Structure formats: structure tokens, C-alpha cells
Amino acid sequence: IRNGGKSDSVNGHKSGSNQSPSLKSDLISPTMFNLKTLKLKTKQQELLIRVTILCLVYVLAFITRLFSVLRYESMIHEFDPCFNYRTTLFLTQKGFYGFWNWFDSESWYPLGRIIGDTLYPGLMVTAALMYWTLRFLRFAVHIREVCVLGAPFFASNTTLVAYFFGKEIGDLGFRGRPCGSCTDSDLPWLHLEIRSYDNEGVAIFALLLTFYLFVKAVNTGSLAWALASAFGYFYMVSAWGGYVFIINLVPLYVMVLLITGRYSMRLYVAYNCMYVLGMLLAMQIRFVGFQHVQSGEHMAAMGVFFLLQVFYFLDWVKHMLSDTKLFQAFLRITVTTAVVVGVVALGALQLGISHHGRAASTLLLDPTYAKDHIPIIASVSEHQPTAWSSFMFDFHSLLFLFPAGLYFCFKRLSDATIFLVMYGLTSMYFAGVMVRLILVATPAVCLISAIAVSATIKNLTRLVRAKNKVPSTGSSKGASSTKSSSKASLDQSLPFQRNGAIALLVGAFYLLSKYATHCTWVTSEAYSSPSIVLAARGAYGNRVIFYDYREAYFWLRQNTPPDAKVMSWWDYGYQITAMGNRTVIVDNNTWNNTHIATVGRAMSSYEDEAYEIMRSLDVDYVLVVFGGVTGYSSDDINKFLWMVRIGGGVFPVIKEPDYLVNGEYRVDKGAAPKMLNCLMYKLSYYRFGELMTEYGKPPGYDRARGVEIGNKDVKLEYLEEVFTTSNWIVRIYKVKPPNNRW
């Protein structure tokens, strides 16, 4: 299939430059021979091939995401998707207004959470619409299936949009060439968002759609396309907080166009329509609301909007005043007044509106900000700066095709390629700041790399072909490309050029097929392992699957009173509410730092102090995740320092150094006394000291950290163990009522 995609790019090239199809025989493709026998015209052939390739890619993009569904089962794997699933279920049951006004009393006890106000409903509404449509068509699907398969479906759609986007950009110089290779190469980011049912799946689709439509609008100057891009933007806003990227990138792009003197009426129409309508539409999303006109993150767009008006106005004045002197005087006066008014307005803004810059976006501008100020943001692994290795891992060969693509973009500068360059550069920067934003960068990287690939291949094939029929080159091409003809004349001086070109072509194909293999491997290995079901290799190389999470949530659902409150670290909140159906104190929607800090403080206090906190929060059960038996390393003990930091950020009684020994975090005998006696330690290692985990090691040997624990004789006074899963991954404790006689 991949090879098909490749040959498409070559085909596209050929048909674009109206060359004879002789080269097809060079480039392995059995369908091509069939086509020859069908005796279609070149255009029709091209269309047929293109549609076929697209269909194949569409299907491929879908099925690469099914690894985890096939390997495990159709279920919601991750933390956030659990919540999305729960809300979607609610939406399908209670209808849109029920969902819109949903006050969820089962999370963030006792504060509760207004779901409609604090989420981006795009994903849920999309899934519900798909569900209702399927039901209407008499497909008796369960909403879970829709949710699980919705993400692959949208990924496929995204490839389509990427194709059109590529086509739109290639329209000027490359004429549809990149399409094939681009669809081919955007496999990796399809893989990235394999993470089942999450906002990003829809959001990347919406993001690319908006960009595509906007570029189209700029290229055509059509109001209709601008309107369409405004709706694309609306969809994006409804789906993901990453819409801020669009609303900053687009004005930045406009700004660059203005500076480079590419201001045009097309741009004016496209941007104004997109911004004004997009803003009005975005404000309909309750989570965004007036932020769109008040917060600092959206100011750039507004500024550029006014700047465009000024440009237009100046153009008009210039047109009216024929005298240059007069115009300059006018300019001087207006600029002075504008500056004065601007300063006053800015001052008023500073006084009037408090800038609650959201921390995650501040983080983008200053990557070290969170580390110093907001531990809760820094604690999320998705918010960590990206490691070089993960760039290599995700992008593979695209990493060095990317600069090449940039070069080709600059070579053929147009409004569209400028956009692509801007998109690529900014998103690369953001991807470097935050791991999860690699998602945003991948489409850009793919497209730019695709340009590199298609431009290279185009040049190479041209060389090959030029050698083939030296006399015809000059005559048949004529005016279309004087450059290539001059190249062709140059070629004659180099004797091994054709062989070299063929060798390079083969190399390129090898590279791309390697890349495709890598992508499939990454998808299968790295992005298809759910966190709810853990898989490991057994002693004989067989696959061992730990169902501990599901076991624990099922136990909660079956054995605790329906109004029981479960305290756990916030990572597991969504899953406990969605799968365990019990009220939680904090969950993954980390909107209230104090509440999370309270839980962090409880976990890092001594048992009696923690008991007071838990009583005040009406906690009935405490759930901890423990990997000491299985060697599962992302357990609560390894997250514990973040609990200390977040707790200490609000309650200064919790001090990080109390849990460290010489700045070192340890759980063995040399650990800090407070560490050995805090609630989290006790709950994790309760009865662990009696357990042999590994042959040849003393009892109480922690396999996740590779040490023998320091406090083997853990006694619990205020809590009692009620459930531990078969591999000890999840442990549930019940908070005892106060002593009857004391």
C-alpha cells in the first residue's frame, strides 16, 4: 500500500508536467499496466489512481489504529477518554440540554463540577451525532463502540483533509504532487493520537480543516471559504483548548504577510470574516465565553484585526489623496493620535481586566515557569518538555526531511507556503516545549516533509526522464519550465547522472518504506498499549496481562455503598467515576489546585493527621496504585514527590526536604523517617514486608524501585485494608469510623 502511495506521487508529477507515461514501467506498479489496457486518458488515469490511493490510505489510517482494539478489546483505555465516554453517555441519555446544564456531583466532592461550563463539548457532540445517525440508520451500536472507533474514523478524515491541504499548498508550484507522499507520511501522527477517545482526535482534524479552509480562503479571496474556515474554527474551539494555537498562528501569519508586503484584498476578506465570525461562534462555547475577547492569549488576533483595518483605511486615504505630502502629514497625525489612544486603552485594560493568563499557555512562552510556580502543571507527564529521543521516535526520517521541506517552501514562496512554514516552525517550537503538542506539529512536519519528498522526487525523475529523451525536453515543455530545460542541458555534461538519480530514487523509496514500517511498529508497540490493562512479558516470553485496574473498579462498583467517596491521587479520578461509579474527591480535570493539594497533603501526612483531613472530606475509601509486586513503575510511590510538592505549594507544613535524604528520594532503610511513616508509604507497603516478590531477594523487595523497603512492619490505625487486586497494583482501604469509646 505504501508503495502505491509512493508511485502516486510520481504519477502525480508526471501527469502534472504532461510527460508521456513511459516511466511507469520503471516504477513498479501492476495497476498501471492494467490502466494502460483500459485506455484511459491521462487525466482520468490520474483521477482513478488518486481516488484509489486515497481510499487505501483512508482505510489504512483507520486500521492502523485498531491494534489495541484487536489486541485487547473494544473499551476505553485511558484516563481522559474515560471521562469523555462518561459524558458522551450522559449526552446520549439526557439530551443536549441535560448535558449542557449538567452539574456533576460525583466528582470533586464536595465542590462538584459544572460539566457544561468546564469542558469542550465538540468531541461528545460529534460522537453523539454519529451515534444518533447510526441509530437512525438502524445500526444497533453501543455508544462505546462509537467512542472507540470514532478516533480512528476521525484520523482517517484528517488524512483526507491533509491531502486537500497539501494539494492546496502544492497548487501553485507542485500541482498535487505532494498529496500522495503526504498522505503516506502522515501516518505517524495518526499513530500519536491512537490514544482512543480523546479530544485531540477530533481537534487535529478540526485544526487542519481550519488551516486548509483558511489557506483556501486566502488563495481565493472567497467569502464562502472564509466562512467555512470560521466554522472550522468553531468546531476546533468546541473540541480542544488548543484552538489558542490557531487564533495566534493565523494573526501571526497575517502579520508576516503584511510585513513582507503581501497585503491583498484576498487576505483582508479571509481574515476579517474568519476572525469576526470565528470569534462570535467561539464565544458560544461556555468554557471559552468572554475569554475570547478578554484574555491576553486572544489579544494578538484582535490587534491584527485592527491593524488590517488601518491598512485598508490607509490604502483608501492614499487612494483619495493624490498628493504624497498631504498623505504623509495625514499619516503623522493619525499615528500620533493612534499611539496616544492605544496607550490610554492599554492602561484602561490593565486596570479593568485582570489577566488570568492560563498557566498552560504561559508555560508555552516560558517553559521554566511551571517548574517554579505551578507544580500541578509540571507534574503532568504530557506537559514535560519533549526529549530528543521522542522526536526521533515519532518523526523518524521526517526529522531531516523537515528542513529540506522548509528549503523548498522558501524556494517557491507563496501565501500558502508561507503559512505552512509558519505553522511548521511555531508548532515545532511548541512540540519542543510540551510533549503533547507533538500532536499539533505532526501534520505540519508531515506536510513539509512531503513537499521535500515530492520536490526531490520530481527533480530526480525529471533528470531520469530528461536523459531518456533529450531532444524532446526542450521542445515539449516550452514555456512551462525554463529552469528544468536549463537543468536538462546541464545534465548532458554529467555522464552518470541518470544512474545516480535512479540510485537516489531507490534510496528515497527505501527510506520511505522504512519510515512506513517504523510508523506501523510505533503504532503497534508504543501507542496501542492501554493504561487500564497492563501488559508485560512473562518468564517464557509470553504476554501477561494485568487486569488489576478493572478488577479494582469492579470491586468498588459492587462492594461499596453507592454514595461512598473515594480518595485517590487525581490521575485515577476519571476512571473511578466512569468505571467504578463512585464519587471521587479529585479527578483529572485539575481545576481546583487547593483541593488537589488537600489530597496531596493527606497522602503525605502521618496517619492521624491524614485521618482528620479525610474525615473533613467525608472520605470512605482510599485507593492507591502500587507497583512493587509487578514492577509497574508509574505507581503512586513514584508520583509521590509531586503530591508532596503540590500539597506543599498550598500548605507549607508539607516540606519536600522532609521526604528526601540528601536530596535523594528513597524508600529503603535509608529513607527519611517522615517518608517511612507517611500515609502513602503505609498504604502502599502495608503487609508488603511479608511478601516474597522475587526469588533470591529478601521479603519486602520492591520490584518497581529495586530495593528492599525500609518499613516492613506497617501498622494501620485509622484505616483498614479492604481490597487488594491480584497483582497488588490497586489497593483499596476503608477509613474506619472514629473509635466508639474515645
Partner 1 sequence: MAKKLSIFIAISLVLSLCDAFNLDNPSSRRILVLLDDFAIKSSHSLFFNSLQSRGFDLDFKLADDPKNALQRYGQYLYDGLILFSPSVQRFGGSIDAAAILDFIDSGHDLILAADTSASDLIREIATECGVDYDEDQSSMVIDHTSYAVSETEGDHTLIAADDFIKSEVILGSKKIEAPVLFQGIGHSLNPANSLVLKVLSASPAAYSANPNSKLAQPPSLTGSSISLVSVLQARNNARVMISGSLSMFSNRFFRSSAQKAGSSTKHQKSGNEQFFTELSKWIFHERGHLKAVNVRHHKSGEVEEPGMYRINDDLEYSVEIFEWSGTSWEPYVANDVQVQFYMMSPYVLKTLSTDGKGLYSTAFKVPDVYGVFQFKVEYQRLGYTTLSLSKQIPVRPFRHNEYERFITAAFPYYGASFSM
Least Cα distance to 178 among 188, 192, 164 occurs for 164
E strand residue ranges, 626-725: 701-702, 707-708, 719-724
To partner 1, the closest distance from the beta carbon of 738 in angstroms equals 6
To partner 1, the closest distance from the beta carbon of 292 in angstroms equals 16
Least Cα distance to 216 among 229, 204, 205, 206 occurs for 229
To partner 1, the closest distance from the beta carbon of 110 in angstroms equals 4
What is the pattern of x (binds partner 1, CB under 8 A) and - over residues 564-603?
----------------------------------------
Compute the distance between CA of residue 587 and CA of residue 250 in angstroms, rounded to an integer: 34
Q: Footprint of partner 1 on residues 115-134 (CB under 8 A)?
A: 116
Give 282 or 617: the residue with its C-beta nearer to partner 1.
617
Are the CB atoms for 564 and 621 separated by under 8 Å? yes
Element (H, E) at 151: helix 143-170
Give 562 or 663: the residue with its C-beta nearer to partner 1.
562
To partner 1, the closest distance from the beta carbon of 282 in angstroms equals 17
Compute the distance between CA of residue 294 and CA of residue 710 in angstroms, rounded to an integer: 53
Is residue 114 within the footprint of partner 1 (CB under 8 A)? Answer: yes
Distance between terminal CA atoms of the chain? 74
To partner 1, the closest distance from the beta carbon of 306 in angstroms equals 19
Is residue 496 within the footprint of partner 1 (CB under 8 A)? Answer: no
DSSP 571: G
CA 424 vs CA 158, 399, 405, 646, 735: distances in Å: 17, 12, 10, 35, 53
Pick the stretch among 110-118, 205-213, 214-222, 256-264 that binds partner 1 (CB under 8 A). Answer: 110-118
To partner 1, the closest distance from the beta carbon of 219 in angstroms equals 32
Is residue 109 within the footprint of partner 1 (CB under 8 A)? Answer: yes
Is residue 662 within the footprint of partner 1 (CB under 8 A)? Answer: no
To partner 1, the closest distance from the beta carbon of 111 in angstroms equals 5
Pick the stretch among 63-71, 404-412, 677-685, 732-740 that binds partner 1 (CB under 8 A). Answer: 732-740
To partner 1, the closest distance from the beta carbon of 582 in angstroms equals 13
Is residue 738 within the footprint of partner 1 (CB under 8 A)? Answer: yes
Give 570 or 626: the residue with its C-beta nearer to partner 1.
570
To partner 1, the closest distance from the beta carbon of 600 in angstroms equals 17
Compute the distance between CA of residue 171 and CA of residue 420 in angstroms, rounded to an integer: 13
Instruction: Provide the grid cell at 621.
Output: 475509601
Q: Could you please report the per-residue DSSP string of 204-232? A: HHHHHHHHHHHHHHHHH--HHHHHHHHHH
Which residues are CB-neighbours of 707 under 8 A, at least 6 positions away? 666, 667, 668, 701
Which residues are CB-neighbours of 593 under 8 A, at least 6 positions away? 374, 376, 646, 649, 650
Question: What would the 3-class secondary structure string for 242-276 be?
Answer: CHHHHHHHHHHHHHHHHHCCCCCHHHHHHHHHHHH
Is residue 112 within the footprint of partner 1 (CB under 8 A)? Answer: yes
CA within 13 Å, CB half, 553? 19
Are the CB atoms for 214 and 274 separated by under 8 Å? yes
To partner 1, the closest distance from the beta carbon of 620 in angstroms equals 12
| Ranges of H-type helices in 434-547 | 438-468, 470-477, 482-491, 497-525
Q: Footprint of partner 1 on residues 509-528 (CB under 8 A)?
A: none
The only residue of 103, 410, 521, 591 in contact with partner 1, by rule CB under 8 A: 103
- How would you classify the pairing of strands 701-702 and 543-546? unpaired
Are the CB atoms for 410 and 421 separated by under 8 Å? yes
Is residue 100 within the footprint of partner 1 (CB under 8 A)? Answer: yes
To partner 1, the closest distance from the beta carbon of 59 in angstroms equals 41
- Asked if omega into 110 is within 30° of 0 (cis), the reply is yes
Pick the stretch among 139-147, 374-382, 677-685, 733-741 that binds partner 1 (CB under 8 A). Answer: 733-741
Give 116 or 178: the residue with its C-beta nearer to partner 1.
116
Compute the distance between CA of residue 420 and CA of residue 218 in angstroms, rounded to an integer: 13
The only residue of 70, 111, 326, 490 in contact with partner 1, by rule CB under 8 A: 111
Compute the distance between CA of residue 697 and CA of residue 447 in angstroms, rounded to an integer: 53
Are the CB atoms for 153 and 117 separated by under 8 Å? no
Give 93 or 337: the residue with its C-beta nearer to partner 1.
93
Is residue 740 within the footprint of partner 1 (CB under 8 A)? Answer: yes
What is the pattern of x (binds partner 1, CB under 8 A) and - over residues 544-563?
-------------------x
* Amino acid letter, residue 446: C
- Torsion, Cα 462 51 211 398, to 10 degrees, reads -50
To partner 1, the closest distance from the beta carbon of 94 in angstroms equals 12
How many residues are listed for the chain in this entry? 742
584 DSSP β-pair partners: 566
Compute the distance between CA of residue 228 and CA of residue 213 in angstroms, rounded to an integer: 7
The only residue of 97, 290, 388, 496 in contact with partner 1, by rule CB under 8 A: 97
Give 483 or 615: the residue with its C-beta nearer to partner 1.
615
The only residue of 101, 118, 309, 381 in contact with partner 1, by rule CB under 8 A: 101
Give 11 or 568: the residue with its C-beta nearer to partner 1.
568
Binding-site residue total for partner 1 (CB under 8 A)? 20
Is residue 742 within the footprint of partner 1 (CB under 8 A)? Answer: yes
Give 595 or 639: the residue with its C-beta nearer to partner 1.
595
Give 291 or 520: the residue with its C-beta nearer to partner 1.
291
The only residue of 25, 70, 110, 139 in contact with partner 1, by rule CB under 8 A: 110
Pick the stretch among 47-55, 108-116, 485-493, 624-632 that binds partner 1 (CB under 8 A). Answer: 108-116
Pick the stretch among 103-111, 178-186, 298-306, 376-384 that binds partner 1 (CB under 8 A). Answer: 103-111
Give 356 or 736: the residue with its C-beta nearer to partner 1.
736
Q: List the Cα angle 683/689/691 in 5-degree steps.
A: 105
Give 616 or 633: the residue with its C-beta nearer to partner 1.
616
Residues that bind partner 1 (CB under 8 A): 97, 100-101, 103, 105, 109-112, 114, 116, 563, 616-617, 737-742
